[in-house]
């Protein structure tokens, strides 16, 4: 009898490494909002990103959204130049290869988590209404 490797219950977010990769996901998923969290490679335990990974599956199932990650190093100007990412974490929302908006200067507390969820729902409603 063979056994398969155990499934990761809460897998990490897929990492996108360029603006082109973000636009590609947006193009491949025309009915979805693409939410990209720009953050450190290894977020702190209990951070907004870590909590997002735990609730994102239900959120993706119940809303027209897909979550991804982009790693930002302090010395990395790629994201700063392309999207003016100044603080971490920053979440940028995309649809049809265009930015819908962003959340930055997040304090990573429970109130910010509510703001993220509400913003996603608002963007999804706008997409469905079109």
Q: What pLDDT is recorded for position 33?
A: 96
Mean pLDDT within 56-85: 86
Judging by beta carbons within 10 Å of its beta carbon (0-12, 13-18, 19+), is residue 14 exposed, middle or buried?
Answer: exposed
Please tell me whether residue 105 adopts helix, strand or coil conformation. Answer: coil
Q: Is residue 96 scored above 70 in pLDDT?
A: yes
pLDDT band at 32 (very low <50, low <70, confident <90, very high): very high
| Cα–Cα distance measured from residue 78 to residue 27, given in angstroms and rounded to the nearest whole number | 21
Q: What pLDDT is recorded for position 93?
A: 96
The mean predicted confidence, pLDDT, of the chain is 86
Mean pLDDT within 24-46: 92
């Amino acid at each position: 009898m063979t056994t398969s490797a155990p499934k990761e219950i809460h897998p990490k977010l897929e990492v996108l490494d360029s603006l082109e990769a973000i636009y590609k996901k947006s193009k491949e998923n025309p009915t979805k909002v693409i939410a990209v969290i720009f953050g450190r490679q290894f977020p702190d335990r209990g951070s907004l990103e870590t909590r997002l990974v735990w609730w994102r599956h239900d959120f993706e199932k119940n809303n027209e959204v897909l979550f991804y990650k982009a790693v930002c190093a302090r010395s990395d100007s790629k994201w700063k130049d392309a999207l003016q990412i100044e603080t971490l974490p920053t979440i940028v929302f995309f649809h049809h290869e265009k930015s819908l908006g962003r959340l930055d200067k997040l304090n990573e507390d429970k109130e910010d988590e509510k703001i993220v969820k509400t913003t996603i729902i608002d963007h999804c409603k706008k997409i469905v209404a079109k």
